[in-house]
Amino acid sequence: SMAAGGWCPAGGRWRRRRVERGAEEGSAVLRRLREARDDLVSSGFWAASAGTVPELGGGTHRGCRSPPHGLTPLSVLAGAVQPPLAASTEPPARCVCYGLGRFSGCPSARYQLAFLLLLLEELGVPPGRCWLFDPAFSEQEVAVLEQLGLRLLPDNEEGKHDVEGSFTLFYMVHCGKALYNNLLWKNWATGSLSKMVIVGNSFKGIEERLLSRILERDYSYIAKVLKGTEEVALPAHPRYLDTFNDTSVHWFPLQKLQGLSPEVWDCVEEPTYQECDDLEIIRKEEGGGRHSPTATQC
């Protein structure tokens, strides 16, 4: 009767206030995300990365055996230009994003998400074909991602995502080396690797920073695929040095992969990292079972 007379139970009032506050905070996150997107565009970084060049629009160089002078990394990724030694190329059908981090409060993570949204738009990948995972996501961040039309992977795959024959873009900025290694292991065949593009930590940089025996022992799939990889670094920009430093676009041309020695494909043992001292990955059993090994950037 109290409710009928216009009164609300205390619990209902607080619940409504909490919902309203959550909506306001979510709107603020979306506003900051739009500002980050506008900043990436106005600063010239997005143009330098995606390439406002004829190749993207007209594909005038389709079929070239090597990229023309001045080619930018994402114009290769967009499928407008045939990558070196590749038999064919196509725009990705879907995207998987790992390790984005707490984008509601972390500027670097927010710029990385804004860049991803621009990238999906550029490549014509619908938001509903992009899956994300990070155990660090808050309920509010999950709600924002869903509002953007993006989807969440239900489980911590530890990077072990099978492309299942679909050309897939993996967006993995500042993720741990084990995540890349696991991804390569899961798709360790010429047909699968040639359908992957990875935007993430430079494989060349990983090779340069690690002793070869450590690379071959702990991250053997990265070590084995190096000679089958094409890599183009994202451009350096003073405003985003911490956000996109050491980030490259990687792809694996079929002819390059087929040119590797047969022994490379013999060992398909799942990585265990038993001797690895600094494993940069959140395992399922460590509480990262729901909502990806998070980027340790904020």
- For the chain, the structural domain boundaries read 45-55+86-265
pLDDT one-digit tens code per residue, 201-217? 999 999 999 999 999 99
pLDDT one-digit tens code per residue, 65-111? 333 334 455 655 555 444 432 333 567 889 999 999 999 999 999 99
pLDDT band at 280 (very low <50, low <70, confident <90, very high): low
Query: What CA–CA distance (Å, rounded) separates 289 from 4?
Result: 44
The rounded mean pLDDT for the chain is 80
Query: What CA–CA distance (Å, rounded) separates 115 from 45?
Result: 10
Query: What CA–CA distance (Å, rounded) separates 129 from 140?
Result: 21
Other beta carbons less than 10 A from residue 241's beta carbon:
10
In DSSP terms, 201 is beta-bridged to 247
Integer angstrom CA distances of residue 168 from 7, 115, 199, 221, 243? 54, 17, 11, 19, 23
Per-residue pLDDT, 123: 87
pLDDT band at 21 (very low <50, low <70, confident <90, very high): low
Whether residue 250 is predicted with pLDDT greater than 50 in this model: the reply is yes
Helix (H, G, I), strand (E, B) or coil at 17: helix
Considering only 25-29, 41-45, 126-130, 226-230, which range has the smallest mean pLDDT?
A: 25-29
Whether residue 128 is predicted with pLDDT greater than 80 in this model: the reply is yes
Q: Could you tell me which of 231, 210, 232, 193 has the C-alpha nearest to residue 276?
A: 210
Note whether 255 and 97 are within 8 A (CB).
no
Per-residue pLDDT, 64: 33
Query: What CA–CA distance (Å, rounded) separates 232 from 177?
Result: 18
In DSSP terms, 196 is beta-bridged to 168
Query: What CA–CA distance (Å, rounded) separates 145 from 291?
Result: 12
**Whole-model pTM over 0.85:** no
Q: Which amino acid is at 222?
A: I
Helix (H, G, I), strand (E, B) or coil at 21: helix
Whether residue 61 is predicted with pLDDT greater than 80 in this model: the reply is no
Per-residue pLDDT, 68: 35
CATH number, span 45-55+86-265: 3.40.50
Whether residue 11 is predicted with pLDDT greater than 70 in this model: the reply is no
Cα 103 → chain centroid = 14
